[in-house]
Amino acid sequence: MAQCRICGNVYSEFIDFGMMPIANGFLVPEMFNKEFFYPLKVGFCDKCTMVQLIEQPDRDMMFHDNYAYFSSTSARMMTHFRSFAESVMGMLGMEDPFVVELGSNDGIMLQNFSAAGIRHLGVEPSANVAQSAREKGIETTCCFFDQELAEKILKERGSANAIIAANLMCHVPYLHSIVEGVRRLLSPGGVMIFEDPYLGDIIDKTSYDQIYDEHVFFFSVSSIQYLFNMHGMEIIDVIPQDVHGGSMRYVISHKGNREVSPRVAILIKKEQSRGLNKRESFECFRRKVELSREKLLALLHKVRKEGKRVVGYGATSKSTTVNVYCGITPDLVEFISDTTPIKQSKYSPGAHIPVRPYGDFKARYPDYALLFAWNHASEIMAKERLFRKAGGKWIVYVPEVKVLE
């Protein structure tokens, strides 16, 4: 039993993944016996409909000066954030607008505002990725955003006409402080626009690997509506996105200041009809997750018995949940190929599978590539035509476990 971070109601878990390491905590062998683990369990609050982790490690264990996630490793995401930025620019009617981004990482989104000469500020607590943004000329403050920081920005720079965030809101357990900070910092006619992986897609695709330490919340339109209503704000539009396995973009304003799109009520109704407000749906999800684990393990054992080589593709944070929950070891997956320098020559959290540069994948194609970065499938498949031509096969597990022929 735990207390809901949004409405204070007491709620209980529906799935228990066991003990998990820090999902982005790639490590060297000297650290193996000091590795930190915590219990990964998820619950559903039937009062405000928020799905959330029961327990989350301390934020300083996840976001620091050695953070392994650099947003700009995907060309598709660069294009996505350019178009996100363009749509925000289209909403900024006034002269000399000010845009604040929360969780701006290496500047993947703000570089577009910077190039357009728009006043901006990135808020990014992980010092190494914040530094990478600064090197691109993006103004970045290396802090955790909360109500206190919002007051400071307001005092020093004035109110923001747009506050934007991608894959940030779902990371923050102190969401009330964030939303209250947004309410204070946002100008009266301003908008907040943010997107995160969508609960509906996670349930539909059994993408349980979206569940790991950093993702403390799994949002639906109804839970976001509940949260912002508590702070005198409202959703004025919702726009589904096809990135990160299915995301939802929420447009928020101060209550009564802008017209509300009929899409909001339509999506909330759809969520009710598909059972996102009912505990049974999550119990059913749990059974599908257990089945997915069985199938993936059976498949990996089968191909290894046949003497085939399997290499992981993309050392995603999501893959930490899959590897540890399924018990995938280096006997099953020889190494994981990843283009991020900071992850290379280290080992995956918990499962301790070596992470190697992409060149190692290309130099000697395996028989099977296990697609951990499935959310970038179209970008990767387009890039890896030669692998298939050479007889290589992809193993995927979202939405179901199979070999792509």
Binding site for ligand SAH (CB under 6 A): 63, 67, 69, 71, 102-103, 105, 108, 123-126, 129, 144-145, 166-168, 171-172
103 neighbors 123 (Cβ within 8 angstroms):
yes
Nearest 5°: phi and psi at 9?
-65, 150
Secondary-structure breakdown of the chain: helix, strand, coil percentages, each rounded to the nearest 5: 40, 25, 35
Query: Is residue 334 within the footprint of ligand TYD (CB under 6 A)?
Result: no
Q: Are 17 and 40 in contact (CB under 8 A)?
A: yes
Q: Which does 194 bind (CB under 5 to 8 A by kind): ligand SAH, ligand TYD, none?
A: none
Q: How far apart are CA 382 and CA 336, in angstroms?
A: 19
Is there binding between residue 338 and ligand TYD (CB under 6 A)?
yes
Query: Among 154, 340, 342, 396, which residue sits at the site for ligand TYD (rule: CB under 6 A)?
Result: 340
Report, in Å, the least distance between residue 68 CB and ligand TYD.
7
Q: Is 314 in the site for ligand TYD (CB under 6 A)?
A: yes
Q: Which stretch binds ligand TYD (CB under 6 A): 114-122, 156-164, 335-343, 388-396?
A: 335-343
| In the complex, minimum distance from the CB of residue 339 to ligand TYD, in angstroms, rounded to a whole number | 4
CA distances from 319 to 20, 46, 70, 74, 313 (A): 12, 29, 16, 17, 10
Q: How far is the CB of 82 from ligand TYD (least distance, A)?
A: 16
Output phi, psi for 229, to 5 deg. -60, -30
Question: Which two tokens mark 366?
Answer: 């395996």
Query: Pick from ligand TYD, ligand SAH, none: which does 379 bind, CB < 5 to 8 A by kind?
Result: ligand TYD
The partner in contact with residue 207, picked from ligand TYD, ligand SAH, none with C-beta cut-offs of 5 to 8 angstroms by kind, is: none
| Region of 194-202, 230-238, 326-334, 377-385 interacting with ligand TYD (CB under 6 A) | 377-385
Task: Provide the minimum distance between the beta carbon of 238 and ligand SAH in the complex, in angstroms, as a whole number.
Answer: 18
Task: Give Rg (Cα) of the chain.
Answer: 21
Task: Indicate the residue type of 377.
Answer: A
Helix (H) or strand (E) holding 51: strand 51-53
Report the nearest approach of ligand SAH to the CB of residue 124 (Å).
6
| Shortest spacing between CB 81 and ligand SAH, in angstroms | 7
How many residues in the shown chain lie near ligand TYD by CB under 6 A? Answer: 18
State the Cα–Cα distance between residues 79 and 88, nearest whole angstrom: 14
Residue 379 within binding range of ligand TYD, rule CB under 6 A: yes
Distance CA 96, CA 99 (A): 10
Site string for ligand TYD, 53-92 (x = CB under 6 A): ----------------x---xx------------------
> Comparing C-alpha atoms, which of 268, 274, 224, 270 is closest to residue 250?
224
Cα(132)–Cα(273) distance, rounded to whole angstroms? 44
Compare residues 49 and 316 and give the one whose CB is closer to ligand TYD.
Answer: 316
* Shortest distance, position 76 Cβ to ligand TYD, whole Å: 7
Element (H, E) at 111: helix 110-115
Residue 293 or 318: the one with the smaller Cβ distance to ligand TYD is 318
Tokens of residue 380, six digits: 């990767």
Dihedral angle of Cα 371, 353, 130, 108, to the nearest 10 degrees = -10
The residues with which 197 forms a beta bridge, in sequence order, are: 247
Residue 98 engages ligand TYD in binding (rule: CB under 6 A): no
Contacted by 196, from ligand TYD, ligand SAH, none: CB < 5 to 8 Å by type = none
Q: Which does 122 bind (CB under 5 to 8 A by kind): ligand SAH, ligand TYD, none?
A: none
Interaction site with ligand TYD (CB under 6 A)? 69, 73-74, 314-318, 338-340, 358, 373, 375-376, 379-380, 383
